[in-house]
Amino acid sequence: MFVKKFSADTMDEALKMVKKELGPDAIILKTESNKGIKGVLKKKKIEITAGITEREYVKKANVDRVLTDAQKQKLYAAPASTVASSMDNFTIMNDSKVKAGPKIVRGPGIFEDNYTGMGKSKNSNVAKFSEKNLQANMHLNAATSLDDFLSSVGEKREEKREEKREEKREERREKEEEQKSDKLEIELSRIKGIEEKINFLSEKIQLLEDKTPLGITQVRRQLRSMDLDEVFIQDLMKKTIFELQQEDLGDYEAVFDFALREMSERIYTEMPLFAAMEDSKKSVITILVSVEGTGQTTTALKLREMKKTSEMLVFKSSSDDKRQNYSFVSKILNATVHEVSEFSEIIAICRKAKAEGKSLFLDYKIDECNPEHFSLVTEGIRKAFDDVELLLCVSAVHSESYNRKFLQRYRRVADGVVYTKLDMCTNYADIFNLHICVQELPLKFFTTGPVVPTDIEAATAERLISGMFKMA
């Protein structure tokens, strides 16, 4: 078999070269498309390797020898079936001429003899191809064997491509399923590992708790049951372990007494300014600040009764129509009560009380509709007068979060805290938690009931601790 490689820029050009060089009976052995880097390195994009048998190659060579270049171009431009038929006819006639001898009778075939005599030329005379008969035979068949081969090659390629696509789809599905199963196994293994770590840490914590002295464990549980701040409990237990001897840590009484002492030291109390300056002739302005529902007005009356020569000033905002008339209260308690609604009136009454050497208690409830007025009043009084004290009134009935928000908002302008309605308090630990949160504000007073003036007392650590632990 004769094999040759053909290179061209397109498939059609390569096939025409095969058809021209090897004839219509050529067999396509291999096709290759040069793409990517390989296409850059190669000169041509299409490479076809074709082959032909020696018999067919000899048959084509015999035809090519008797044709001119123009005849070759016309012949190989025809369909493959026409070219093959013409070559077969030429081969048959050529074989018959060889058998009949050097003298060949003219006939209607596609070839005519062109012999000029055996004696006139040393070379053998070759039959000349009849161009008319060649053109007639070129239009005999429209379909060609080479064109049929190309169409079948295209169909086979498409089938192979579809098979490859289907194989790739199957491989992709299998890979996705494998990846899903692998991910599931990984997640399950992670969950299992986390569970094992949790169990391990739980056992470790249990061992640590078991090693903790009995006294520490009992006191810690008791403090937690009272809803004390967890950070404070942890700090207290660390200090207890550091301060006490090892044999005392197992004794509940020793640990409990130490905890009580530490808690008492954390409670910061202080005398009010008007009580500290009682012997002097200077007057003190005490501003009580709160929101609605804290019992501040009753607290102000109780404080005024502690200093008989003092006067009481009640600020009544424009939106406040719930304040009672203090004429009856002033007659019963023999107290001077001023009701004002303007900042100028507050300054005038404070200046008059200062001139007379009297202390003054200002009952001021924050107006949520006009919060700027609070800053105006407090800053104006502090700038205009000396010996001014601002106390925040907090109800022990309200929740810890509500009171914490109020104290955090006004802690910077306050000088102390007064807790009201202590007789209705259900959890003294809330007061303790709030106090250690804003420990820079000392506790001033506790009010323990509605009766004026008896239900009020100075704030002490013992009173708060006894309420927390229900001590008599």
User: If 0-12 CB within 10 Å is exposed, 13-18 middle and 19+ buried, where does residue 176 land?
Assistant: exposed
Torsion sign, CA atoms 345, 349, 355, 360 = negative
Name residue 315's beta-bridge partners: 340
pLDDT at site 127: 38
pLDDT of residue 22: 77
C-alpha to C-alpha distance for 467 and 472, rounded to whole angstroms: 9
Residues near 138 by Cβ (< 8 Å), separated by ≥ 6? 74, 75, 78, 79, 82, 83, 86
For residue 171, the model assigns a pLDDT of 86
As a whole number of angstroms, the distance between CA 143 and CA 436 comes to 104
The amino acid occupying position 267 is I
Task: Residue 299: name the closest of 418, 193, 441 by CA.
Answer: 418
Nearest CA among 306, 313, 301 for reference residue 278: 306
Distances (CA, A) of 129 to 23, 67, 93, 139, 383: 17, 7, 11, 17, 131
Q: Give the span between the Cα atoms of 429 and 431, in whole angstroms.
A: 5
CATH architecture of 273-468: 3-Layer(aba) Sandwich (3.40)
Q: Taking the chain, what is the end-to-end CA distance rounded to the nearest angstrom?
A: 122
d(CA 374, CA 365): 9
Q: Given this model, what pLDDT does residue 282 score?
A: 78
Q: How many other C-beta atoms lie within 10 A of the C-beta of residue 306?
A: 16
Rg (CA), the chain: 58
What's the CA angle centered on 68, arms 67 and 72, to 5 degrees? 70
**Longest CA pairwise span in the chain (Å):** 171
**Distance in angstroms (rounded) separating the CA atoms of residues 337 and 304:** 10
Domain residue ranges of the chain, discontinuous segments joined by +? 2-151, 160-209, 212-266, 273-468
Say how far apart CA 119 and CA 82 lie, in whole Å.
37
Provide the residue-wise pLDDT of the chain in tens; the chain has 472 residues.
778 888 888 888 888 888 777 777 778 877 887 765 555 566 677 888 888 887 777 777 777 777 777 777 777 777 777 777 777 777 777 666 555 554 443 444 333 343 334 333 333 433 344 444 444 444 443 344 445 545 555 666 777 788 888 888 888 888 888 888 888 888 898 999 999 989 888 877 765 655 778 899 999 999 999 999 999 999 999 999 999 998 899 899 999 999 999 999 999 999 999 887 765 667 899 999 998 888 888 899 899 888 888 899 998 875 554 555 566 666 677 778 888 888 899 999 999 999 988 999 999 998 877 778 888 999 999 999 999 999 999 999 999 999 999 999 999 999 999 999 998 998 999 999 999 999 899 999 999 888 877 889 999 999 999 999 886 4
Q: Tokens for 290, please give them.
A: 């709160």
CB atoms within 10 A of CB 17: 16
Tell me, what's the pLDDT at 266? 94
User: What pTM, to 2 d.p., does this model score?
Assistant: 0.55
